[in-house]
């Protein structure tokens, strides 16, 4: 590592809470699918800030929209009507069967809104004392206390207990276990159609149809966490649309505003009936600046056909990764994903492979120590992905 990098690390040691384990990189600049570190070295970014910068870094059109809005209005709070919010809501709701939007600032907060919506709906609309949210094993819903309780992973809640009550978890893919877990106190099932942090695990289509049917039969809500898989990444605007299911409400965040912090919950009018004036709120949610940027993000995605492209390009890259798996027996266990959410699970611990990829200028994530996770910008050049696979082949061959 260089002197410049070491200096950044030493400085951070003294300043920030040690809650992150960082990659060995200090980034100073980005453009499209490229990043540059403190030493001026260039990287191909196939992570996009964890599926956040969907249109690439410092996208010119987004920069222009941001600059224009920054001179018009930033923030007035939700005490006021703001047309930027409405324009964004119209664009978002046109992509789905949902009818109502609530804006917030992050994925965890969007999931908190889902949880609160489900509980309110049961209590105030259905007049049932149903509050429990059932989630699936290996899920990730965020780090606030409610979202942590939903995530139900002890390694993440260590030292933070007690967590809020009213959460239960069943293994993903097991319909009988889900049915057995549903009781009179169940308000909703919350799931990711493609588990992201879990290591890029698409849930089986029959299972998701089965979950939906169970929710209808038991008269509880189906909630989808679209924080990572939503916004076009899987080749449909929303991941659930790959599976022909109709969740009552969904959460959105990561790439919603192409890197500005923003989240949203989208719900059917029926599911949203529990939210009345005063029942839920946030100071920053849907501010004019982030809303204008998010609206521009969606406009560009749709104009440039990036959603369809994500589906096609992702399928191509997965096929090529599978060919690589066959060429190099014993190196790659499985290639998974949907659209530009791609997981390449290695047969052995991938730490060294992942580090070597970074050394050779490719940034991706290593999930659970074995799965290389790619979440590139939706407008990434195919050549960048080709180059990644070529370098990966070279690295795996040499091992």
Ligand X SMILES: *Cc1c(COP(=O)(O)O)cnc(C)c1O
**Contacts to ligand X by CB under 6 A:** 106-108, 111, 140-142, 192, 196-197, 225, 227-228, 253-254
368: region left, alpha or beta (phi > 0 left; psi from -120 to 50 alpha): left
Q: Which is nearer to ligand X, 5 or 23 (CB)?
A: 23
* 8 Å CB contact between 178 and 214: yes
Q: Which is nearer to ligand X, 170 or 341 (CB)?
A: 341
At its nearest, how many Å lie between ligand X and the CB of residue 213? 23
At its nearest, how many Å lie between ligand X and the CB of residue 226? 8
Q: Is 119 annotated as a binding residue?
A: no
At its nearest, how many Å lie between ligand X and the CB of residue 250? 11
Q: Is 351 annotated as a binding residue?
A: no
Q: Which is nearer to ligand X, 197 or 393 (CB)?
A: 197
Residue nearest to ligand X (CB): 107
Instruction: Give phi and psi for 222, each to the nearest 5.
Output: -105, 120
Query: How far apart (Å, rounded) are the C-alpha atoms in residues 213 and 207?
Result: 10
Q: Is 226 annotated as a binding residue?
A: yes
CA angle 298/303/304 to nearest 5° reads 100
Q: Which is nearer to ligand X, 37 or 109 (CB)?
A: 109
At its nearest, how many Å lie between ligand X and the CB of residue 264? 12
At its nearest, how many Å lie between ligand X and the CB of residue 244? 21
Q: Which is nearer to ligand X, 231 or 325 (CB)?
A: 231
Query: How far apart (Å, rounded) are the C-alpha atoms in residues 277 and 99?
Result: 17
User: Which tokens hold the place of 131?
Assistant: 């509050």
In terms of C-beta density within 10 A (0-12 exposed, 13-18 middle, 19 or more buried), how is residue 151 classed?
buried
Residues ≥6 apart with Cβ < 8 Å to 64: none
Q: Is 107 annotated as a binding residue?
A: yes
Cα pseudo-dihedral 140, 369, 376, 249, rounded to 10: -10
Q: Is 135 annotated as a binding residue?
A: no
Query: How far apart (Å, rounded) are the C-alpha atoms in residues 361 and 343?
Result: 19
* 8 Å CB contact between 374 and 335: no
Q: Is 228 annotated as a binding residue?
A: yes
Q: Which is nearer to ligand X, 199 or 311 (CB)?
A: 199
Q: Is 283 annotated as a binding residue?
A: yes
Q: Is 189 annotated as a binding residue?
A: no
At its nearest, how many Å lie between ligand X and the CB of residue 330? 31
Instruction: Give phi and psi for 363, each to the nearest 5.
Output: -105, 120
Q: Please name the helix (run of DSSP H) or strand (run of DSSP E) that holds residue 371, with its range, or none.
A: strand 371-374
218 pairs with which residues across the strands? none
Question: Residues annotated as binding site for pyridoxal 5'-phosphate?
Answer: 107-108, 140, 225-228, 283
Query: Which residues are part of a known binding site for N(2)-acetyl-L-ornithine?
Result: 143, 282
Residue positions forming the annotated binding site: 107-108, 140, 143, 225-228, 282-283
């Amino acid at each position: 590592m260089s002197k410049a990098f070491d200096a950044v690390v030493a400085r951070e040691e003294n300043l920030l809470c040690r809650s992150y384990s960082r990659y060995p990189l200090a980034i100073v600049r980005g453009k499209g699918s490229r990043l540059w570190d403190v030493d001026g070295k260039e990287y191909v970014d196939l992570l996009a800030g964890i599926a956040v910068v969907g249109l690439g870094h410092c996208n010119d059109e987004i920069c222009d929209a941001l600059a224009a809005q920054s001179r018009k209005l930033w923030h007035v709070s939700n005490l006021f009507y703001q047309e930027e919010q409405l324009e964004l809501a119209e664009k978002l709701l046109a992509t789905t069967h949902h009818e109502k939007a609530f804006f917030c600032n992050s994925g965890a907060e969007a999931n908190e809104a889902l949880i609160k919506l489900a509980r309110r709906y049961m209590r105030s609309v259905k007049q049932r004392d149903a509050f429990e949210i059932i989630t699936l094993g290996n899920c990730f819903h965020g780090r606030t206390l409610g979202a942590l309780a939903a995530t139900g992973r002890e390694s993440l809640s260590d030292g933070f207990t007690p967590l809020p009550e009213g959460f239960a978890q069943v293994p993903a893919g097991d319909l009988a276990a889900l049915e057995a877990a549903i009781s009179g106190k169940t308000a909703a099932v919350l799931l990711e159609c493609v588990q992201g942090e879990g290591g890029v695990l698409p849930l089986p289509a029959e299972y998701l149809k089965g979950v939906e049917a169970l929710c209808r039969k038991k008269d509880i809500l189906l909630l989808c966490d679209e924080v990572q898989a939503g916004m076009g990444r899987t080749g449909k605007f929303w991941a659930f649309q790959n599976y022909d299911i109709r969740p009552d409400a969904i959460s959105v965040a990561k790439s919603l505003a192409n890197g500005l912090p923003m989240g949203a919950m989208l719900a059917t009018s029926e599911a949203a009936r529990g939210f009345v004036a005063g029942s839920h709120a946030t100071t920053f949610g849907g501010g004019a600046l982030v809303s204008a940027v998010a609206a521009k993000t969606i406009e560009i995605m749709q104009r440039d056909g990036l959603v369809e492209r994500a589906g096609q390009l992702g399928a191509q890259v997965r096929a090529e990764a599978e060919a690589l798996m066959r060429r190099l027996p014993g190196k790659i266990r499985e290639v998974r994903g949907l659209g530009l959410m791609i997981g390449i699970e290695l047969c052995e611990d991938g730490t060294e492979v992942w580090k070597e990829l970074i050394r050779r200028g490719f940034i991706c994530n290593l999930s659970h120590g074995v799965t290389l996770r790619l979440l590139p910008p939706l407008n990434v050049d195919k050549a960048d992905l080709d180059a990644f696979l070529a370098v990966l082949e070279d690295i795996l061959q040499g091992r």
